[in-house]
Structure 1
Amino acid sequence: MAELAALEDPKARAVNEKHGDDHGVNLGKLRVLAKRLKTQQDLARELWASGDTAARLLATLICRPKAFERQELDVMVRAAGTPKVHDWLVNYVVKKNPHAEDLRLAWLADPDPVVASAGWALTTERVAKKPEGLDLSGLLDVIEARMKNAQERLQWAMNHCLAQIGIEHPEYRARAVDIGERLEVLKDYPTPPNCTSPFAPIWIAEMVRRGPEGRHR
């Protein structure tokens, strides 16, 4: 904890707070610390229990993802708090856990929009890497009906899934683009130069243009 406190950078905190996060640790330096600590599941649990955002981010980097029980991960996602902790927990821990599919299905139907966003993030992962058994048309139905008025983090997650379906599955591409164009979600989102807009029709077109190799650079 003392090392994490020493890494505090007021400028980094100011930037992070604009995105709803409450830590001032440079994430590059945090990864260097994690690399030195290596995997330590007990320490990871202690860091998470501290409730400190930087400590929780570090915990997601040094834990053993497969060691968590289903209920434990459910509690952690509900208590994650800040967007960055939630994002790292889902991407670095839950996705690698044997209960990921069970949690995906449970979270998709959860009334808490932040928990539901985790379910959509796991669904997007399956759309890209293991689409067998997914009802892609049904997912598009849900996105079409609910994305426009969804809470911000849930809306982002659903939009990512919409784009991924359009990118990875040519047979659904025209419908995914049409949904994006009609709902206009994130159409006017400010996008820096050399970055791809999160507006689904533009995102899909750019990733398809790059082809399979360019998408994963």
Structure 2
Amino acid sequence: MTGAVLEAVLAELAALEDPNVRAANQKRGDDHGVNLARLREIAKRLKTQQELALELWAAGGTAARLLAVLICRPKEFGPDELDTMLRQSGAPKLQDWLVNYVVRKSPHAETLRLAWMADPDERVASAGWELTADRVARKPDGLDLPGLLDTIEAKMKDAPGRLQWSMNTTLARIGIEHAPLRSRALDIGQRLGVLKDYPTPPNCTSPYAPAWINEMVSRQQRA
């Protein structure tokens, strides 16, 4: 039964392929041409279907795997499965969705966070730092925040793209959420200058950590 459904869904995704969307996505390193709003509409219609999600992932293709992420049951994956899926998720958007929509909800998230942060693969390590940034904001108990700042201070400047971005996110989260460490986080961000010149559209918050920290703290104080 799922085989027929799989073929129908893959055909639907193929029909949604838009060269303009693909061209825009390619500028961000993503390799699919399906509008994400349309993709979410399909997921809403299909609802949760773990078997179909597994088949979509196995079929390959970023659009199919993005849809798989939206309809799967995160708690049904084992740690080895999630590790394999992460290493297969080359597109930045796919890795982002996998980490935030699946791994973060998994009972294995903390085990994977620690393992991935130490991984020599930049993409895998960046996923570990994304999970760390999430923990800094939501469940910081047990984290060595000063130790994280030490690592960021020593390694973020020369870290490759994705890893640098994730470390910078962690730096900003520490500065935003933990007032006693805010001045140090600001100092590290200012001295390293990472993403200082990142092009930021009007009315959007810059990813440059000092600007990001100050903007979010200002919003908290106005609330």
Q: Please indicate the TM-score interval, normalised by the length of the shorter structure.
A: over 0.9
Q: Who is 1:2 aligned against?
A: 11
Choose from 83, 90, 107 the match for 1:81.
Answer: 90
Q: How does 1:1-217 map to 2 (within 5 A)?
A: 1-211=10-220
Q: Distance in 2 between matches of 1:209 and 1:83?
A: 30
Which secondary structure does the structure 1 equivalent of 2:31 belong to? coil
Structure 1 residue 50 displacement after superposition: 1.2
Q: Distance in 1 between matches of 2:85 and 2:221?
A: 34
Q: TM-score, normalised by structure 2?
A: 0.95
Q: Distance in 1 between matches of 2:175 and 2:34?
A: 36
Identity of aligned residues (%): 71
Number of corresponding residues: 214
Q: Distance in 1 between matches of 2:221 and 2:32?
A: 36
The amino acid that maps onto 1:48 is W
Q: Distance in 2 between matches of 1:171 and 1:194?
A: 28
Structure 1 residue 9 displacement after superposition: 1.2
The amino acid that maps onto 1:47 is L
Structure 1 residue 51 displacement after superposition: 1.4
Q: Distance in 1 between matches of 2:112 and 2:220?
A: 31
Q: Distance in 1 between matches of 2:112 and 2:60?
A: 23
Q: Distance in 1 between matches of 2:84 and 2:92?
A: 16
Q: Please, what is the CA RMSD of the aligned residues? A: 1.0
Structure 1 residue 213 displacement after superposition: 8.7
Structure 1 residue 118 displacement after superposition: 0.4
Q: Distance in 1 between matches of 2:89 and 2:200?
A: 27
Q: Please, which runs of 5 or more residues in structure 1 have no aligned partner?
A: none
Structure 1 residue 180 displacement after superposition: 0.3
Q: TM-score, normalised by structure 1?
A: 0.97
